[in-house]
A and B are shown apart, each in its own frame.
Chain A
Amino acid sequence: METLFAVLIGLLVAAGVFLMLSRTIIRVVLGLAFIAYGVNLAILTVSGLRQESPPLLTLEGPYVDPLPQALVLTAIVIGFGTTALLLTVALRAYQVAGHDDVAAFGDNLARNPDAPDGQHADPEHLSPDTPETDHTDETEIQMAELERLRRITR
């Protein structure tokens, strides 16, 4: 049974990693959730899966190991917290950048608002770091300088 679960955990982790590497922000969040599932199962699996009673003293012994269960219980809740936080960050990133492509998030999320998907989802709530129109010249100069520096440092 352990071997079966080991393979299942492997599958979950692989799916999670693959999702995390994709460009859509929601997939990244889901990927993390899958890795969390895998890890939770792994903690229980490595303590050995036996056909014994659950660790409730009202039942007859012998019992399975209660400690990993306690750890996983904590892990589930924390995993939920992480997912919730990530989701809000994803939402916020989308609002700021105007798109949900993580590969196009630079250091400055809204560096390129003119990209094909650069439409602001929420035109009323502009991002704090969207360059405003009268600053475009300055930005262009900075971008040119950045390019120049990149060429030097490479």
Chain B
Amino acid sequence: MTLAVLFPLIMAAVCALLARQLGRRTGYLAALGFLPALLLAVPLAGNSVEVGGTPFNQVTGWVPELGLNFAFRGDGFSLLFAVLIGVIGALASLYSVAYLSERERFGRFYPYLLLFGGSMLGLVLSDNMIALFAFWEMTSVTSFLLIGLWHTRSEARDGAIKAFLVSALGGLGLLAAVALLSVAGGSTTLSGLDLEAVRASPMFIPALLLTLLAAFTKSAQLPFHLWLPTAMEAPTPVSAFLHSATMVKAGVVLVAKFGLIFGTSALWGGIIVPLGLATMFWGSWRALKQTDLKALLAFSTVSQLGLLMALYGLADAEGRFAATTHLLNHAAFKAALFFVVGIIDHETGTRETFRLSGLRRKLPLTFAVALLATLSMAGLPPLGGFISKELFYEAMIHAGPGFIAVSVIGSAFTLAYCARLIGIFFGDFRAPEDDTGQPLKPHIHEAGLGLLLPPALLAGAALLFGILPSSAEWLTRRAGAALNFAGYEGHLYLWHGVTPALLLTLLTWGLAALLVWQAARVYFLQVHVEFPLSSNRIYRGLLRGLETLASRVIAGTQGLALPDQLRITLAAAGLMGGYAVWRAPQVFQPLEAVPLSTLPIAVLLVAGALGVLLSRNRLTAVVLTGLTGFGSAVAFLAMRAPDLALTQLLIEAVTVILFLLVFRSLPGFRSLPRGRVRGVIDVVLAGSAGIGATLLVLASIRFLSPPISPYYLENAYKEGGGKNVVNVILVDFRGWDTLGEIMVVAMVALAVGSLVRLGRRGQARSEKDTAPASQDLLDLQKRQS
């Protein structure tokens, strides 16, 4: 499993290196990268993860001290999903070999695709929650790269940024949730969590809500669905990969897996099921409105994800069984449909439904594939989609009448947009034209094998799941032990008698027929009904608000005079330090006896400090500073550090000389008032800094670990050949430090020299970076508007 996750990442590097030589054939290498993931099907098919069987684990240490490991856990569900990712990833790579144009930058496309696939595999297989979070963020970053692949187009940039911002928001939620869970449950692995402790903990509800935030942002649930439709700016093979099997399903995986932790809470299902159904309805309503085939599919994904979420959100065996079945079906038909749309786009040059008609005459094979996949998406027999739709109704009947109504109406819309999708194949053939009436492509002919095979395989799977339900059931049952529905009795049949679910299906068909019959009116209604509160508008408003806030903060805090700037910084540091002191355990010892000899030192130090504060004459101030300096030299002596005392004395003398030199060209001290409020603030700041320093010193007089100094004492003479240990440390053991110190002094000398010379000459001319500050603000303003 570790190999399955790592191999795509390694192959990404290989592809990046070889892309220049191989060109489009890099895609075969990329498909190879998913091979280990496909091989996971072997343990999946074997008995090791059979119903009730034990999952197999692989742990690779990362930072074991912190509970950070790459712990991969191959339970039935994870393996099933990993194989799904492998299949669709490999197919997408093969498909893109034929799909992409010769001028595409393969050196970016395939590595991104592989990186994404690898992080997705890591995400589903990871048992360690922190690694899971890391993979989660990796999928966000790599999908950002994939969506923005054609970064010269502003829509692609916008879509990529939107997808990243939304899913990164959820990622932060996940990080917090993972932290809360691992603290409450006493383990960083999902399987090692103490569920009783988690459920009893007060962090249960916050962790639940944060997990939901993560899942909803990633899986494009209301109101976070805004990023998914714009993510279709990615190349079509990427869309197929992102929308069918992976990125968007990450949230579903999260809900499925964490449902085992949170499922007992009424809040879990109480939030997910209504939101999921609302998303399903809203997605299918919006999908019906689209004229771009890819946009239609994108909204359809939103809708189907809502359905999956709602099913997993039920957190019972029936819901999980239905959801896992539909997960498989959805992956098969949605990826196939994206590939089909890619073919249509590739062959005809457009994806607009109103430009296309009668395509079955020119693209018969594509039509066959599209028909199978669309029927499955519409939930019509005898395809896999029908079976999972029945299961969905079955589950919703147990949830309540309101839920049934929403799901029936949503499914009717689904049928309607499926009809619209397949409609482009019927009717008389018209060569697609652009706005000026010129045909887009001179000759339209059937796609090649490279484009047709991947969707055909997937559509075949959809058909297989329908006519041979036991195959889908066999696959679904693999996840039974991992998702706690091993004991569930239900089975998959095409015909299971006249049940309430079947009646609901008939009702859906009736409604859908009505919608198709009145398609023109429905479309008119859709175009004219506009909701004022669209999440895209909120997103833009938020972005703009953030920008304004940022520029106000900058205007308010930057460009202040030095003391004000310092006050802000010190106050912030003081608040944080104060909090630390307040929370820290009390470790201070009582006052011990003070030897009389240290009292003169104390007097020297304090006298110097107080004297400078009170002095009104710069010479006095410097001399008094020197007093403190000599005081600390004496203190060094008392602390048994003769070298330090000597150095301090020398430096003190040089410093005083330096000051005297400078004073020649500086004015005398003036007392500049601070103002009453600022004076008080300064006293408070200085006082708290002093108290903080005292407390810090007192708190630090304990060894956190055994001192390393005995080593130096022992080896100073043996290895350094010197008897003054401090000197040996400086020149031998820590010679690099000393070299760095010499560099610092040399640089200071250079800087001082040039600054002084600059002042002498007085010829310096005005430069660009000293332009008035108003220019900056002007620029800022221009960028905002």
Contacts and interface: CB of A to CB of B under 8 A. Distances in A.
A135 B677 CA distance: 37
Given A63-B713, A146-B777, A38 B555 contact: no
A134 to B, nearest CB: 13
Contacts, number: 323
Given A3-B591, A22-B672, A77 B745 contact: yes
A82 to B, nearest CB: 8
Contacts of B729: 66-67, 70
Contacts of B591: 3
Contacts of B738: 74
A48 B697 CA distance: 10
A54 B642 contact: yes
Given A15-B610, A80-B654, A2 B698 contact: yes
B707 to A, nearest CB: 6
Interface in B23-76: none
Contacts of A90: 662, 666
A106 B690 contact: no
Interface string B578-589: 000000000001
A114 interface: no
Interface string A63-107: 111110110111011111111110111111011000011111111
Interface stretch (B129-137, B156-164, B273-281, B633-641): B633-641
Contacts of A146: 772-774, 777
Contacts of A92: 755, 758-759
A22 B697 contact: no
B655 interface: yes
Contacts of A5: 598, 635, 697
A49 B174 CA distance: 48
B266 interface: no
B690 A85 contact: no
B566 A21 contact: yes
Contact of B561 (A45, A77, A88, A102): A102
User: Interface size bucket, A side?
Assistant: 35 or more
Interface in B538-583: 551-552, 555-556, 559, 561-564, 566-567, 570
Given A21-B563, A80-B651, A67 B709 contact: yes
B697 to A, nearest CB: 4
Given A53-B640, A103-B564, A74 B774 contact: no
Contacts of B712: 66-67
A21 B570 CA distance: 10
B562 A33 contact: no
A40 B698 CA distance: 15
B777 A23 contact: no
A18 B662 contact: no
B699 to A, nearest CB: 9
Contacts of A17: 570, 685-686, 689-690
B630 to A, nearest CB: 11
Contact of A78 (B691, B692, B741): B741
Given A33-B625, A57-B723, A78-B741, A66 B709 contact: yes
Given A46-B697, A73-B726, A103-B561, 13 more contacts: A7-B694, A13-B692, A18-B685, A21-B570, A25-B666, A30-B625, A34-B628, A53-B640, A56-B725, A105-B561, A106-B559, A129-B770, A142-B775
26 contacts: A4-B598, A6-B698, A8-B602, A8-B606, A13-B693, A14-B689, A14-B693, A15-B612, A22-B672, A22-B674, A25-B666, A26-B669, A52-B640, A54-B642, A55-B640, A55-B725, A69-B641, A73-B643, A73-B647, A78-B745, A83-B658, A84-B658, A85-B752, A95-B665, A100-B670, A106-B773
Interface of B: 551-552, 555-556, 559, 561-564, 566-567, 570, 589, 591-592, 594-595, 598, 602, 605-606, 609-610, 612-613, 618, 621-622, 625, 628-629, 632, 635-636, 639-644, 647-648, 651, 654-655, 658-659, 662, 665-667, 669-670, 672, 674, 682-683, 685-687, 689-698, 700-701, 707-709, 712-713, 716-717, 723-726, 729-730, 734, 737-738, 741, 744-745, 748, 751-752, 755-756, 758-762, 764-767, 770, 772-775, 777-778, 781
Give me the 5 closest cross-chain CB pairs, A-B, nearest first.
Answer: A14-B690, A125-B762, A10-B694, A18-B686, A128-B764
